[in-house]
Amino acid sequence: MALEYTIDGTTLPVVTVHLRPGDRVYSSSGGMSWMTDPVEMETNSGGGLGRMVKRAMSGESLFIVDYFTRDREGEVAFAAEFPGQIVDLDLPEGRSVIVQKDAFMAAEKSVDLDIHFRRKLGAGLFGGEGFVLQRLTGPGRAFVNFDGEIVQKSLADGERLRVDTGHIAMFDPTVNFDVEMIRGFKNILLGGEGLFMATLTGPGRVWLQTMPMSKLAQRIVQYIPRPGTGDGPSGGLNIDLGQLLRGQ
């Protein structure tokens, strides 16, 4: 029987999974937002030391938490940690997608969460997310959270899409990911896009995010006055940037 769930909210959405006896979903430790009384938790290594190390490399916690019910129905919710959109994935047996680090929210127990290495040196160094991404493989339902709104593209065989690296949220394993240097001295010096741009070559699907958190953070920093100077729109309010970025 298919997993039942609802996604509510707009800017800061939440996915609520409706658990029946026999249903089991998991998330990284600390990923749950709230749950009803019948739901039970079971923290585990998710496959031993090797799996723990892999999850840490991909930006997840060392342990995972299973959520299930025994004889009554219940609900468990997973809320977005930043403004964006929750994407629900229905993965058939053996079907995989590659997602950016920290995007994973929760999944059915049948879905495998693993790491994905970028094999090309340039893509790993300048691709915006480093060498390690996340791979989700079916069968089952999984939920991921991306920045801003999501635009999906379907690339034909050999069709190429050039993207600012921070906007890549997810893509099919059949899509070739690489980086290229921006051409033209004036483009590099005055274009504002840096030295490198990602290239995605089909066939396959690509999910793009409209508001990378890195760019949002850069915009916010412009409006934060330097401590003790009184500069900026805040009119002298001293803000500890380190505490702001840590959410304190």
pLDDT number for residue 74: 98
Quote the pLDDT of residue 233.
Answer: 52
- Helix (H) / strand (E) containing 61: none
- pLDDT tens, 198-242? 899 999 999 999 988 777 777 777 777 776 655 555 444 444 545
Count of positions (residues) in the chain: 248
Residue 130 has a pLDDT of 47
pLDDT < 50 positions in the chain: 121-130, 184-192, 234-239, 241, 244-245, 247-248
Residue with tokens 């600012």: 164
pLDDT at 183: 57
Residue 140 contacts by C-beta under 8 Å, 6 or more apart in sequence? Answer: 3, 91, 107, 108, 109, 110, 111
| 0.85 surpassed by pTM | no
Query: What does the pLDDT read at residue 21?
Result: 96
pLDDT at 220: 79
Residue 131: name the closest of 196, 59, 195, 64 by CA.
59
Say what the pLDDT of residue 147 is.
Answer: 92
Question: What radius of gyration, in Å, describes the C-alpha atoms of the chain?
Answer: 20
Distance between CA atoms of residues 67 and 55, nearest Å: 19
| Domains of the chain, earliest start first | 4-238 (3.60.160.10)
